């Protein structure tokens, strides 16, 4: 059994820094800072370390995914619009060889056709969408479960 504390990386993609300021009917009233602090609280109760990062730049997100190799045991990601466009982000997540949980605030399947396909889902262990900020907390629970199952092996 491995009793060391696992570290998780939470990545948020383009425009999610605007959360709580526009389109509350789709994305709610919580800001990104609110959301990250709720996740930090959940991480503490799960005994996880959590590092939160947001970028509007695809290359920056890919860089953080690469760095996760030496720093984090798992990645939770809301890739935002890159979900539907980025083979490069998908390849980076595939290359890092860590469990990935994909999360979306909105239900991407009930929205425009172009949001129905996710490149990231091909490489994610789990996908949560449509539950707003609660989905991030469930993603934390799911990651704790995935990491605990790894430790038991
Ligand atoms: O539902 C989600 O979490 C999305 O990942 C959000 C993305 C969208 O492109 C995906 O299809 C689904 C958009 C993030 C933009 O967030 C904003 C928040 C407030 C104001 C403007 C944009």
Task: State the closest ligand 1 atom to the C-alpha of 78, by its place in the atom list counted from 1.
Answer: 5
Is residue 150 very low, low, confident or very high in pLDDT (cuts 50, 70, 90)?
Answer: confident
Q: How many domains, the chain?
A: 1
**Does 149 reside within a domain?**
no
- Backbone phi, psi, residue 107, to 5°: -85, 100
Residue 152 has pLDDT above 90, yes or no: no
- From residue 90, alpha-carbon distances to 102, 122, 144 in Å are 11, 8, 22
Structure-token pair, residue 70: 């030496």
**Does 52 reside within a domain?**
yes
**Does 150 reside within a domain?**
no
Instruction: Dump pLDDT digits (tens) for 70-89.
Output: 999 999 999 999 999 999 99
Task: State the closest ligand 1 atom to the C-alpha of 106, by its place in the atom list counted from 1.
Answer: 1
Instruction: Dump pLDDT digits (tens) for 96-130.
Output: 999 999 999 999 999 999 999 999 999 999 999 99
Residue 15 has pLDDT above 90, yes or no: yes
| pTM reported for the whole predicted model | 0.96
**Does 138 reside within a domain?**
yes
For 136, the domain range is: 6-142
**Does 62 reside within a domain?**
yes
| Ligand 1: centre distance to CA 150 (Å) | 31
For the chain, what is the mean pLDDT? 95
């Amino acid at each position: 059994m491995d009793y060391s504390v696992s570290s998780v990386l939470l990545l948020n993609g383009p425009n999610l820094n605007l959360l709580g300021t526009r389109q509350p009917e789709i994305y709610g009233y919580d800001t990104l800072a609110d959301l990250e602090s709720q996740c930090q609280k959940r991480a503490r109760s799960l005994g996880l370390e959590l590092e939160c990062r947001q970028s509007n730049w695809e290359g920056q997100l890919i860089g953080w995914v690469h760095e996760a190799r030496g720093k984090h045991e798992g990645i939770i990601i809301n890739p935002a619009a890159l979900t539907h466009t980025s083979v490069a982000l998908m390849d980076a997540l595939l290359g890092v060889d860590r469990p990935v949980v994909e999360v979306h605030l909105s239900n991407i399947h009930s929205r425009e056709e172009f949001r129905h396909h996710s490149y990231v889902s091909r490489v994610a262990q789990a996908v949560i969408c449509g539950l707003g900020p609660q989905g991030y907390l469930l993603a934390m629970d799911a990651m704790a479960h995935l990491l605990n199952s790894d430790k038991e092996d």
